């Protein structure tokens, strides 16, 4: 496992982060505590140090599980967690108000059994709270030593840039990381966010790097999965990681290109190739991966050992290309 700077900071994170969204979840897709502990051990053994969490993951159980499993190893870990979404029925237990931010962090610290988090993300835009209030609250947490760095997730590009401008003008801590859905079958952030992050020194931390499992190659064209085959088979059609959203002609062509590259590397899997493409993107600092078993985790971690020729990366990029929206389309043409 190699380590990379997280954005324009001195913080070094492993190139693959361990996702914890289903740790402790009660559904069939959830990972029980004992299995999660095995995943954490295997990840650390492979050299991983970057743990991705959020307070809403299994209602806080994911943070509890990671905090307990890390124990004395916490000092060597980079823990990233998030706040914004509801953590109760109280109207003040949601959003990015100063009150909710401070209360949410204290609750996360208790569950994680630590007195600071390395990266604290705004998990989504809050239209009810002035962003100045949210940024100042985050900056106060940094000044208090409870948060080391801050990040952003699921903001529009203009919202990220407005936040960075306010931070610079007021001398507040600025975002060093941006967490977004990004994969060979979801390249929407390239229209504006990718260039913004490159310009502003914000490291991209992709989630959903395998398109909800589509890029593993386990699905077949024309054969809709049932509810036992994974996330795509259980997700409503209007959601991002659904069969209706993934099973498009363009995505099947992308998967064919992924399989062709995998075939040229003995033992490589489509999932490893898909992760390798993301790791080759210059703006990507660390990719969030999930796994249900230790074997699955180790297989995904092996993506860091594969070396692809520039023409292979170019072929994947071309096969998965989407038409940029205006005005990005016009700007890109003028830049050539």
The total of other beta-carbon atoms located within 10 Å of residue 243's CB is 19
In this prediction, the residues of the chain whose per-residue pLDDT falls under 50 are 335-336
Write out the E strands in the chain.
3-5, 12-14, 16-19, 50-52, 78-83, 117-122, 147-153, 175-181, 203-207, 287-289
State the Cα–Cα distance between residues 62 and 64, nearest whole angstrom: 5
Tell me the residue length of the chain.
336
Residue 329, pLDDT score: 77
Give the DSSP letter of residue 324: P
Residue 325, pLDDT score: 85
Tokens of 98: 């100063």
Determine contact, residues 123/113, Cβ cutoff 8 Å. Answer: no
Residue 230, pLDDT score: 58
Residue 92, pLDDT score: 97
State the Cα–Cα distance between residues 40 and 112, nearest whole angstrom: 14
Is residue 43 part of the annotated active site? The answer reads no
Place of tokens 């796994």: 291
Q: What element of type H or E holds 42?
A: helix 33-45
State the Cα–Cα distance between residues 192 and 202, nearest whole angstrom: 13
Condensed to tens digits (0 to 9), the pLDDT of residues 67-87 reads: 999 999 999 999 999 999 999
Q: Supply angle C-alpha 261, 263, 265, rounded to 5.
A: 80
Determine contact, residues 11/4, Cβ cutoff 8 Å. Answer: no
Residue 336, pLDDT score: 45
* CATH number 3.30.70.141 given to 3-216+268-308: no
70 upstream amide cis, omega within 30 of 0 = no
Condensed to tens digits (0 to 9), the pLDDT of residues 26-69 reads: 887 899 999 999 999 999 999 999 999 999 999 999 999 999 99
Q: Where are the domains of the chain?
A: 3-216+268-308
C-alpha distances out from residue 50 to 15, 74, 108, 150, Å = 8, 11, 17, 15
State the Cα–Cα distance between residues 112 and 123, nearest whole angstrom: 18
State the Cα–Cα distance between residues 190 and 116, nearest whole angstrom: 33
pTM: 0.94
Active-site residue (options: 43, 57, 120, 182) = 57
52 forms beta bridges with 19, 80
């Amino acid at each position: 496992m190699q380590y990379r700077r997280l954005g324009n900071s001195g913080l070094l994170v492993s190139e693959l982060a361990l996702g914890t969204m289903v740790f402790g979840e009660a559904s069939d897709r959830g990972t029980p505590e004992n299995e999660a502990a095995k995943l954490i051990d295997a990840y650390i053994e492979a050299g991983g140090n970057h743990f991705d969490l959020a307070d809403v993951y299994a209602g806080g159980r994911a943070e509890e599980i990671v905090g307990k499993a890390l124990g004395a190893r916490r000092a060597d870990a980079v823990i990233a967690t998030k706040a914004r979404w509801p953590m109760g029925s109280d109207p003040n237990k949601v959003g990015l108000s100063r009150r909710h931010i401070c209360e949410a962090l204290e609750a996360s610290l208790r569950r994680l059994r630590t007195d600071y988090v390395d990266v604290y993300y705004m998990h989504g835009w809050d239209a009810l709270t002035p962003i100045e209030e949210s940024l100042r609250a985050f900056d106060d947490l940094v000044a208090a030593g409870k948060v080391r760095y801050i990040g952003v997730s699921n903001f529009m590009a203009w919202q990220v840039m407005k936040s960075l401008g306010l931070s610079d003008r007021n001398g507040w801590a600025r975002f060093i990381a941006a967490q977004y859905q990004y994969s060979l079958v979801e390249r929407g952030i390239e229209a504006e966010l990718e260039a913004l992050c490159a310009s502003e020194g914000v490291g991209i931390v992709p989630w959903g790097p395998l398109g909800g499992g589509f890029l593993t190659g386990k699905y077949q064209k024309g054969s809709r999965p049932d509810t036992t085959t994974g996330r795509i088979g259980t997700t409503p059609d209007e959601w991002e990681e659904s069969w209706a959203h993934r099973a498009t002609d363009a995505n099947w062509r992308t998967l064919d290109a992924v399989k062709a590259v995998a075939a040229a590397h003995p033992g490589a899997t489509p999932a490893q190739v898909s992760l390798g493409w993301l790791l080759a993107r210059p703006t990507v600092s660390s990719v969030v991966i999930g796994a249900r078993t230790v074997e699955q985790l180790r297989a995904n971690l092996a993506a860091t050992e594969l070396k692809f020729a520039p023409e292979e990366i170019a072929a994947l990029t071309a096969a998965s290309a989407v038409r940029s929206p205006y005005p990005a389309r016009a700007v890109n043409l003028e830049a050539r």
